[in-house]
Amino acid sequence: MRVGCQTVGVQTTEPAVISMLDLAIIGRDETASDAFAGSVALAQRAESAGYKRVWYAEHHNMSSVGSSAPAVLIAHVAAHTSTIRLGAGGVMLPNHSPLAIAEQFGTLASLYPGRIDLGLGRAPGSDQAAARALRTDARSSDRFPQDVLELQAYLSNRSIVPGVTATPGSNTNLPLYILGSSLFGAHLAAAMGLPFAFASHFAPNALTQAVAVYRSEFTPSAQLAEPYVMAAVNVIAADTTEQAEVQLLRTTRARVGRFLAPDSDLSEAEADAVIASPQGQQILGMMRYTATGAPDEVAEYLAAFTAHAQADELIVAQGGPTLADRLHSVDLLAEVLGLHQRFAAQNDVDSHLLHNA
């Protein structure tokens, strides 16, 4: 079975849980308002189709990414949905004080109880110029483990900063997730007994090693008794293989152009020449884990990827070039994996447990 640019064994594992990552993509000739309307549409479609959660990633100084303020976007999407979990995937904690994030997400947890997740990353989510504009201390990432502990304490009822309480936030016990693209996050998530989400959709190289480290070092905590791995993967599902390949080419041209020629309007031939360059191939390698094809092909790929990543949950980044393409991919993936039926069955189990509690 071919997974991206790698070949893995024939062992497959059907993904038990499917979620979605949304960057609020601002397409050509679109505005941020258009992107946010698209995010609402994607979340509503994911909710009705049986996806577990939708996460929004904090990025800055990227003209095509609108999710720079995850807490605000989550509030907007939550107001237009009713059951699906929503969260940050993640907040780049070095850009913020733990107290401010505790208050922001404590507000969300109070408004939408039982629906909010908080994923935390150590990177700035930006280039150096934007990091300076954010007033980020270059050493702030070194404090990430301590900041996570401080944030976690604010969200419980045991603040470790004398005289300071997060209001709202205190006693919400909001579930935390550690995001990572290296071994650092794996070690930290394991030591703290938190779920670990690996950014394999754009940083694939350390995936299997990081997961192995996390699982071998995991220490149970009040939040989590056993290790829990989420692995990110790009998905483009279309009615036919040929249609999916056309979408993948369009997405690849756009992504490479954004990184390597951000101020240019490249023709298709120029974009292909950039893709063929060493720098273009490096960016292409970042998309190593991409499931592209007709629904059955995508399902087969994801089963192989789930086993390859030893993942308990997949968080898919829908990569179609237009909102219509991404919405259709959401539907096709849900149908081929039977997500709606799984969602209904789990709701029946939950209702039974509540009835007999």
% of the chain beyond a pLDDT of 70: 91
Query: What separation in angstroms does the CA of 116 have from each of 33, 103, 111, 254, 259?
Result: 23, 13, 10, 32, 32
Q: Taking the CA atoms of the chain, what radius of gyration do you get in angstroms?
A: 20
Query: What pLDDT is stored for residue 9 in this prediction?
Result: 46
Residue 18 phi/psi, 5-degree rounding, is -125, 130
What is the biggest distance separating any 2 CA atoms in the chain, rounded to whole angstroms?
64
Domains of the chain by start residue, with CATH: 2-242+288-355 (3.20.20.30)
Q: Is the pLDDT of residue 80 over 80?
A: yes
Query: What pLDDT is stored for residue 159 in this prediction?
Result: 94
List, in sequence order, the alpha helices (H) in 239-277: 241-260, 268-276
Which residue did the predictor score with more confidence, 56 or 280? 56
- Flag the least confident range among 48-52, 130-134, 224-228: 130-134
| Residue in the structure block whose two tokens are 């007994």 | 193
Contact predicate 210/182, CB 8 Å: yes
Query: What pLDDT is stored for residue 294 in this prediction?
Result: 98
Query: What pLDDT is stored for residue 136 in this prediction?
Result: 67
Query: What pLDDT is stored for residue 278 in this prediction?
Result: 92
Give, as one character, the DSSP assignment of residue 246.
Answer: H
% of the chain beyond a pLDDT of 90: 76
3-state secondary structure of 65: strand
Per residue in 288-318, pLDDT (tens digit) is 999 999 999 999 999 999 999 999 999 999 9
Q: How confident is the model at residue 347 (pLDDT cuts 50, 70, 90)?
A: low
Contact predicate 47/14, CB 8 Å: no
Who's near 181: CB < 8 A, 6+ residues apart? 123, 198, 199, 200, 202, 203, 206
Query: What pLDDT is stored for residue 130 in this prediction?
Result: 79
Mean pLDDT of the 244-257 span:
93
Query: What pLDDT is stored for residue 344 in this prediction?
Result: 60
Q: Is the pLDDT of residue 354 over 90?
A: no
Q: How confident is the model at residue 125 (pLDDT cuts 50, 70, 90)?
A: low
Query: What pLDDT is stored for residue 242 in this prediction?
Result: 98
Predicted model pTM: 0.91
Mean pLDDT of the 98-106 span:
98
Mean pLDDT of the chain: 90
Q: Is the pLDDT of residue 145 over 60?
A: yes
Q: Is the pLDDT of residue 185 over 70?
A: yes
Mean pLDDT of the 12-38 span:
92
Query: What pLDDT is stored for residue 124 in this prediction?
Result: 72
